[in-house]
Chains A and B, each alone.
Chain A
Amino acid sequence: MNLTLKIWRQKNANDKGKMVDYKINDVSPDMSFLEMLDVLNSGLILKGEEPVAFDHDCREGICGSCSLYINGEAHGPDRGVTTCQLHMRKFKDGDTIYIEPFRATAFPVIKDLIVDRSAFDRIQNAGGFISVNTSGNTIDANTIPINKHDADDAFSAATCIGCGACVASCKNSSAMLFVGAKVSQYALLPQGRVEAVDRVKNMVAQMDLEGFGNCTNTGACEVECPKGISLENIARMNREYLFANIKD
């Protein structure tokens, strides 16, 4: 396949940035999207130009590093995948592909297509944990029986990879799907109930502080989430938050 790429280039956080056109030929449909960028980059390096910077690591859809806004969609046109799992067979010969960084005030650009998602870490630091000593001197695991249904729902919420596609897809750059998933995981487990009130208040407060917007129930986050994290988690977070504030 021969393609035209329109890629956002931005030297650093202070640079203004602009779209730049690139031609790439002989793209195999078996390549992943990131492998296609690897090929582009090795060509650029050989020409003495700087390669396009993008985040990536595991390349098997689980680390959450890779991002990219492709043709106006987080992680591109396919559903239920990260960019590293997107294959070129989803595109056609002669296509023009727009590649941009995730856009959100809370995710400032570091370089080219790389954004700073450490706001997610700070939300986690504010309460995304259960306060248990790491000594191992806790009760036997099977003395905390958990209904299979709840365990499965907690697991589903916990599969969030923190990629930020929800934020990038939201017209308000809301982080509520991410935070809702975290709040839900612990809210559904007996171990997490003890601190539930403080957790949801602290995490939501930090989320607001970071400059993420509010949820407007558009649902784009759920559609674009590579792990299929459900909107139910936002509803659960809202219930938890309301309950926490009533309790005060």
Chain B
Amino acid sequence: MALDSKIPEGPLADKWTNHKNKINLVNPANKRNIDVIVVGTGLAGGSAAATLAELGYNVKAFCFQDSPRRAHSIAAQGGINAAKNYQGDGDSTYRLFYDTVKGGDYRSREANVYRLAEVSTNIIDQCVAQGVPFAREYGGLLDNRSFGGVLVSRTFYAAGQTGQQLLLGAYSAMNRQIGRGKIKMYNRHEMLDVVIVDGKARGIIARDLVSGKIERHSAHAVVLGTGGYGNVFYLSTNAMGSNVTAAWKAHKRGAFFANPCYTQIHPTCIPVSGDHQSKLTLMSESLRNDGRIWVPKKLEDAEAIRAGKLKPTKIAEEDRDYYLERRYPAFGNLVPRDVASRAAKERCDAGYGVNATGEAVYLDFADAFMRYGREQALVKGLDVNDDVLVKKLGQEVVRTKYGNLFQMYEKIVDENPYETPMMIYPAVHYTMGGVWVDYNLMTTIPGCYAIGEANFSDHGANRLGASALMQGLADGYFVLPYTIGDYLADDIRTGPIPTDTKEFDEAEKSVRDNINHLINNKGKHPVDYFHKRLGKIMWNKCGMSRNAEDLKSAIDEIAELRAEFWKDVMIPGSADEYNEELAKAGRVADFLELGELFAKDALQREESAGGHFREEYQTPEGEAKRRKEFQYVSAWEYKGEPKDAVLHKEELVYENIEVKERSYK
């Protein structure tokens, strides 16, 4: 099967407009006769469900949480980008497009990213109209800040809780449609298979997590807005329930899975404290606007700190290595996430780490306290030479900007970050790989769409900050609602899709067989035992840096672990009740397959791009080395075992951007 990205003809800036002009439309009266299933109700799924219902389609929305308001989009902190150029600092659609493609290490699809930049401004207008309380300046206008990898201030924010506010905005739009009966909401439901009828996605098999009941739901199209698969690493910044199941089941039914090895490692997370740890906590990258990152210059200082004999505040300025400012003077502490993460790991691997395990660097606000404090002292007519006063004034400014993050850090680490520098370390965050989609966001299964983090198209090998929220909402509010009409226009006479057909029988049977096997297995180990082991293989061999030898052994180890899982997993309770262990087992079973494909994809990609750093391919300065011959999307076709997956390549063509070595010096 050849991949057709369906990128419209014409100049980049006109593609989306031309495409919309030519697309098939569904008459409003006919939309009432069409059903759409939306799985996942985060920023992408929630905004899509609301908009499709607004347009007049009958929407069935599913989420595994008890309410759409809890989707993990809620945890995004820093902000959302939009090329509004309110600051007049030179921003434009093209510049947002350029930064995103460059930040993605030239491994994203040009036309999709341009469209994203183009609709970004509508998102802000939409959200403000919905009552999203973005930060304001004293004049009443919207405030902006800057994020890693860019030179303009285009990030809109709501303190450190932007994701929460945007998600609640989309949720409120959903609420309006639920109240009107246009969305039927299925909370605490998990999608366990896609049903294909005559080659088209026509429904899903879902499990009611409370009663354990297996249900059939039909529709004319199925939309997956189910987020990423970072939990394949066990420890990540994702919510505990985030999983790959829906996307993976679609993959097994024919949707190609693209770039599974592209995973983003976020540089500013709270370091791991011990084996009991269940997840990692991210702190907004916006902290890098004011915090300076450093480790001791001298090995003996680092050793003394690790042993608890030396405090970081006692290390003289000249004995500190502000390694990002040293290596990347133009961007300094605001280099993109992959660069910042790798640089932290490099210093820690060299022995300069500052916590007990040697896996942490400092994020220090001491300079920011003094800088802001002096400004405040001047404004208030106080003594600028009184260091104690200046520091106190500066701390107040920092508290208003990042107070909730400082508080969160203190709760977890039990240290006051106003007095001693924070410790941070990179952690698995966002996955740029996902279900392959064409320009219409349709997967290789006709009628099955993937939006937001669940698809692969916009972020390339690395995601710049504040661009995930942008993509989720762009797909859900402004892209999918247009493109899905083009497909559904052929379905106005189809009528309701029956669920008593052999296709639904077969899909339901395979779901039941799977569950019966798991629940009756009576093995020796709980689900987490396997998940943690998978996570260790993934982090050690498929994590921030990778090499061919490790990846080959990872593929074998994961296959062995999977066999062991199916033989030895133990699940208490029964299938027809609320059973969290059973739900978890199904998700881990899918991670055990995805993990192997992840390693296989990383192995064939013999280049370093974004968070995917292949040790064999680096420049003499230790920077990522891209290779022209790998300028493609790897889209995998399911053929049984993950190791048998077949690779299809979508060449990436850059007509509007010169592909250059990425430099932040």
Question: Which chain B residues border A191 with CB–CB below 8 Å?
Answer: 128-131
A81 to B570: give the CA distance in the assembly, Å. Answer: 34
B278:A59 contact, CB within 8 angstroms: yes
Of A58, A85, A117, A135, the residue contacting B66 (CB under 8 A) is A117
- Count chain B residues whose beta carbon lies closer than 8 angstroms to a beta carbon of A: 82
A64:B69 contact, CB within 8 angstroms: yes
Of A30, A39, A62, the residue contacting B74 (CB under 8 A) is A62
* Selected A-B contacts with CB under 8 Å, 14 pairs: A11-B577, A12-B578, A48-B572, A51-B572, A59-B281, A64-B69, A85-B408, A121-B68, A130-B130, A145-B136, A145-B141, A146-B140, A159-B164, A162-B69
When A63-B239, A64-B69, A130-B131 are in contact, do A155 and B407 touch as well, CB less than 8 Å?
no
A129 to B183: give the CA distance in the assembly, Å. Answer: 15
* Nearest opposing residue in chain A for B48, CB measure: A134
Of B125, B137, B185, the residue contacting A148 (CB under 8 A) is B137
Q: Mark B239-274, 1 if CB is under 8 A from A, else 0.
A: 111000000000000000000000000000000011
* A56 at the binding interface (Cβ < 8 Å): yes
Segment touching A, from B12-20, B174-182, B446-454, B586-594: B174-182
B412:A136 contact, CB within 8 angstroms: no
B526:A46 contact, CB within 8 angstroms: yes
Segment touching B, from A98-106, A108-116, A212-220, A234-242: A108-116
Chain A's nearest CB lies how many Å from the CB of B638? 29
A65:B173 contact, CB within 8 angstroms: no
B72:A63 contact, CB within 8 angstroms: yes
Name 14 extra pairs, CB < 8 A, besides A81-B411, A134-B54: A11-B577, A30-B276, A31-B276, A58-B239, A59-B279, A65-B65, A137-B122, A139-B125, A140-B125, A148-B137, A151-B136, A155-B135, A158-B158, A162-B70
B54:A133 contact, CB within 8 angstroms: yes
* A57 at the binding interface (Cβ < 8 Å): yes
Of A55, A134, A147, A155, the residue contacting B140 (CB under 8 A) is A147
Question: Which chain B residues border A50 with CB–CB below 8 Å?
Answer: 572-573
Question: Which chain A residues border B176 with CB–CB below 8 Å?
Answer: 125, 129, 131
* A128 at the binding interface (Cβ < 8 Å): yes
When A38-B278, A60-B281, A85-B411 are in contact, do A185 and B133 touch as well, CB less than 8 Å?
yes
* Nearest opposing residue in chain B for A155, CB measure: B133
When A31-B276, A63-B70 are in contact, do A144 and B580 touch as well, CB less than 8 Å?
no
A136:B119 contact, CB within 8 angstroms: yes
Which of A34, A45, A48, A128 is packed against the most chain B CB atoms within 10 Å?
A45
B134:A151 contact, CB within 8 angstroms: yes
Chain A's nearest CB lies how many Å from the CB of B264? 17
Chain A's nearest CB lies how many Å from the CB of B469? 14
A145 to B572: give the CA distance in the assembly, Å. Answer: 56
A28:B274 contact, CB within 8 angstroms: yes
Instruction: For chain A, give the interface size range.
Output: 35 or more
Which of A38, A60, A65 is packed against the most chain B CB atoms within 10 Å?
A60
Of B74, B134, B172, B239, the residue contacting A59 (CB under 8 A) is B239
* B395 at the binding interface (Cβ < 8 Å): no
Question: Which chain B residues border A162 with CB–CB below 8 Å?
Answer: 67, 69-70
Chain A's nearest CB lies how many Å from the CB of B551? 30
* B537 at the binding interface (Cβ < 8 Å): no
Question: Which chain A residues border B384 with CB–CB below 8 Å?
Answer: none
Q: Mark A76-104, 1 if CB is under 8 A from B, else 0.
A: 00101100010101000000000000000
B128:A136 contact, CB within 8 angstroms: no
Chain B's nearest CB lies how many Å from the CB of A229? 13
A124:B276 contact, CB within 8 angstroms: no
Of B84, B127, B164, B414, the residue contacting A62 (CB under 8 A) is B164
Q: Which 10 A/B pairs are nearest by Cβ-Cβ distance?
A: A145-B140, A136-B122, A129-B172, A141-B128, A155-B133, A125-B179, A151-B136, A138-B129, A154-B133, A57-B239
* Nearest opposing residue in chain B for A134, CB measure: B51
Question: Which chain B residues border A12 with CB–CB below 8 Å?
Answer: 577-578
* A132 at the binding interface (Cβ < 8 Å): yes
* A49 at the binding interface (Cβ < 8 Å): yes
Which of B119, B141, B187 is packed against the most chain A CB atoms within 10 Å?
B141
* B159 at the binding interface (Cβ < 8 Å): yes
B172:A124 contact, CB within 8 angstroms: yes
Of B129, B141, B158, the residue contacting A142 (CB under 8 A) is B141
Question: Which chain A residues border B222 with CB–CB below 8 Å?
Answer: none
Which of A58, A128, A155, A158 is packed against the most chain B CB atoms within 10 Å?
A58
B131:A142 contact, CB within 8 angstroms: no
Question: Which chain B residues border A155 with CB–CB below 8 Å?
Answer: 133, 135, 158-159, 165
Q: Mark A184-200, 1 if CB is under 8 A from B, else 0.
A: 01100101100000000
* Nearest opposing residue in chain A for B143, CB measure: A148
Question: Which chain A residues border B81 with CB–CB below 8 Å?
Answer: none
A87 to B178: give the CA distance in the assembly, Å. Answer: 38
A45:B133 contact, CB within 8 angstroms: no
* B47 at the binding interface (Cβ < 8 Å): yes
* A42 at the binding interface (Cβ < 8 Å): yes
A114:B578 contact, CB within 8 angstroms: yes
A120 to B125: give the CA distance in the assembly, Å. Answer: 27
Q: Which B residues between 24 and 69 are near A, CB-CB below 8 angstroms?
A: 47, 50-51, 54, 65-69
B135:A151 contact, CB within 8 angstroms: yes
A80 to B404: give the CA distance in the assembly, Å. Answer: 11
A127 to B75: give the CA distance in the assembly, Å. Answer: 24
A144 to B127: give the CA distance in the assembly, Å. Answer: 12
A134:B477 contact, CB within 8 angstroms: yes
B526:A35 contact, CB within 8 angstroms: no
Of B75, B86, B137, B407, the residue contacting A63 (CB under 8 A) is B75
A38:B141 contact, CB within 8 angstroms: no
* A5 at the binding interface (Cβ < 8 Å): no
A85 to B281: give the CA distance in the assembly, Å. Answer: 11
Question: Which chain A residues border B171 with CB–CB below 8 Å?
Answer: 124
B175:A28 contact, CB within 8 angstroms: no
When A60-B408, A142-B86, A186-B131 are in contact, do A89 and B414 touch as well, CB less than 8 Å?
yes
Question: Which chain B residues border A189 with CB–CB below 8 Å?
Answer: 131, 133
Question: Which chain B residues border A128 with CB–CB below 8 Å?
Answer: 172, 175
A136:B139 contact, CB within 8 angstroms: no
Question: Which chain A residues border B382 with CB–CB below 8 Å?
Answer: none
* B499 at the binding interface (Cβ < 8 Å): no
* Nearest opposing residue in chain B for A188, CB measure: B133
B570:A45 contact, CB within 8 angstroms: yes
Question: Which chain B residues border A244 with CB–CB below 8 Å?
Answer: none
Question: Which chain A residues border B69 with CB–CB below 8 Å?
Answer: 64, 121, 124, 162
A43 to B71: give the CA distance in the assembly, Å. Answer: 29
A27 to B139: give the CA distance in the assembly, Å. Answer: 52
* Nearest opposing residue in chain A for B176, CB measure: A129
Question: Which chain A residues border B47 with CB–CB below 8 Å?
Answer: 134
A146:B136 contact, CB within 8 angstroms: yes
Question: Which chain A residues border B67 with CB–CB below 8 Å?
Answer: 117-118, 120-121, 162
* A53 at the binding interface (Cβ < 8 Å): yes
* Nearest opposing residue in chain A for B270, CB measure: A60
